[in-house]
Amino acid sequence: MARREQRPQLVEAEAAPARRNRVNLFEIAYQRIEEMLVTCELPPGRFLSLQDIQAMTGLGRTPIHHAVNQLAADTLIVIRPRHGLQIAPIDLARERLLLRLRRDLERFVIGLAAERAGPSHRNQMLHMERLLRERRDTLTLPEFNTLDRRIDGMVLAAAGEPFLEHTLRPLHTIFRRIGFIYHNHMPRQIGLSGTIDHHLAVLNAIATRHAERATAASDALIGFVDGMFEEMEAAIDPSLLDCSVEPLLGA
């Protein structure tokens, strides 16, 4: 009887950490691939294999397979039977349509965050606001993207609705990639001050718990992003949106 009681206890003690480790590796794999998508290290339109992504990330097959399946569900990677994987090309018309969806979701989550933000949430946002004001004219795009992810996390934490994270995360990735291309490849180089100012307005409104002002600031931020599309449609090199498109004049 004693031996029978001990065996299941040993199995449970060993199984739980193993599962946590697997979940952590899945998240690490997703984050690494997501970052390569945002910075176009994995350019839109590129074909590659699961093994290629394993080599680029240094992670094993199982977490990469899981992450790729999730990114395919997020419409950021396309699984092509018998041809491997393709990084989803950027369709500006589609992504501008998705911006309307993001606008409605962001209005909801930011308004909720302003209503529910507790002292700790407000403290973090005021600290972030101060940092952005101090570094407004010197932030690099990689630094801003790092802070932008932190801001997204703060807003979702203040809103207190876990479902929203899984809904908004792929939209944030899609538009962070648009921002990366816009700021790095438009013929007229555009600084970060405009987008930083819009984020400052959102942070301040949530931190001071002004829900109506927060949703207005959210709408203004989405309007700013929509303006990027107007410029990109007219001026961006199509090969940056789909690397299978030949650049003009072999540029």
pLDDT band at 246 (very low <50, low <70, confident <90, very high): confident
pLDDT band at 15 (very low <50, low <70, confident <90, very high): very low
- For the domain bounded by 2-87, which CATH number is listed? 1.10.10.10
Domain 2-87 and domain 92-240, same fold? Reply is no
Q: Give CA–CA dist 98/199, Å, rounded.
A: 20
Joined together, the tokens standing for residue 212 give 């109506």
Specify the DSSP element, H or E, that contains 187: none
DSSP alpha helix (H) spans, 117-161 = 119-135, 141-159
pLDDT at 248: 64
Whether 11 has a pLDDT exceeding 90, the answer reads no
pLDDT tens-digit profile of 174-218? 999 999 999 999 887 788 999 999 999 999 999 999 999 999 999
CATH class of 92-240: mainly alpha
Which residues are paired to 77 by β-bridges?
A: 87
**Cα–Cα distances in angstroms (integers) from residue 192 to residues 23, 196, 202, in the given order:** 35, 6, 16
Read off the pTM.
Answer: 0.85
In degrees, to the nearest 5, what angle opens at C-alpha 90 toward C-alphas 88 and 92? 150
Place of tokens 């949106």: 241
**Torsion, Cα of 58, 87, 174, 67 (10° steps):** -40
Sheet containing strand 77-80, strands side by side = 47-48, 84-87, 77-80
CA atoms within 13 A on the CB side of 216: 7
**Cα–Cα distances in angstroms (integers) from residue 159 to residues 57, 136, 150, 200, in the given order:** 33, 26, 14, 18
Q: Which of 79, 108, 126, 129 is nearest to 214 (CA)?
A: 108
pLDDT at 82: 83
pLDDT tens-digit profile of 217-240? 999 999 999 999 989 999 999 999
Q: Give CA–CA dist 34/36, Å, rounded.
A: 5
pLDDT at 190: 82
Whether 123 has a pLDDT exceeding 50, the answer reads yes
pLDDT at 81: 87
pLDDT tens-digit profile of 127-159? 999 999 999 999 999 999 999 999 999 999 999
- AA letter at 229: F
pLDDT tens-digit profile of 36-82? 999 999 999 999 999 999 999 999 999 999 999 999 999 999 999 88
C-beta of residue 170 within 8 angstroms of C-beta of residue 74: yes
- Domain ranges for the chain, please list them: 2-87, 92-240
